[in-house]
């Protein structure tokens, strides 16, 4: 039975850029003996990962501010316990944190 080769779906991205920047970029990747597409993909992956980290930090900051603003210490402690539970027991995120407003 022949094995199917799993291929990722590829897409093309066309963009306009300054001719001098393109020339300099091509010179650098050629000097480093690296394909320009490989370098661009790595830059894009890094940017996407950075964006994920920024979104996570923003959400963590928002949740921390809600917790800090809560006057019900018992409610905060229950929420912390819920979000600290092992993954199979985790339901704190759906509850939305103290006051159910996260």
Triad 12, 13, 14: Cα angle to 5°: 120
Per-residue 3-state assignment (H helix, E strand, C coil) for the chain: CCCCCCCCCCCCCCCCCCHHHHHHHHHHHHHCCCCHHHHHHHHHHHHHHHHHHHHHHHHHHHHHHHHHHCCCHHHHHHHHHHHHCCHHHCCHHHHCCHHHCC
pLDDT in tens, 7-63: 678 899 999 999 999 999 999 999 999 999 999 999 999 999 999 999 999 998 988
CA atoms within 13 A on the CB side of 86: 1
Position 95 scores a pLDDT of: 47
Position 100 scores a pLDDT of: 52
pTM comes to: 0.61
pLDDT in tens, 51-100: 999 999 999 898 888 888 888 888 878 877 887 777 765 444 444 555 55
DSSP 88: G
Contacts of 93 (CB under 8 A, 6+ apart): 83, 102
Position 48 scores a pLDDT of: 97
Q: Where are the domains of the chain?
A: 17-56, 70-102
């Amino acid at each position: 039975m022949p094995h199917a080769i799993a291929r990722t779906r590829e897409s093309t991205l066309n963009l306009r850029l300054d001719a001098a920047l393109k020339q300099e970029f091509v010179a650098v990747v050629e000097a480093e003996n690296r394909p320009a597409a490989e370098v661009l993909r790595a830059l894009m992956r890094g940017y996407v990962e950075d964006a994920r980290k920024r979104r996570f930090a923003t959400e963590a900051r928002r949740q921390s501010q809600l917790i800090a603003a809560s006057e019900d210490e018992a409610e905060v402690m229950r929420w912390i316990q819920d979000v600290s539970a092992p993954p199979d027991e985790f339901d704190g995120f759906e509850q939305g944190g103290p006051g159910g407003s996260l």
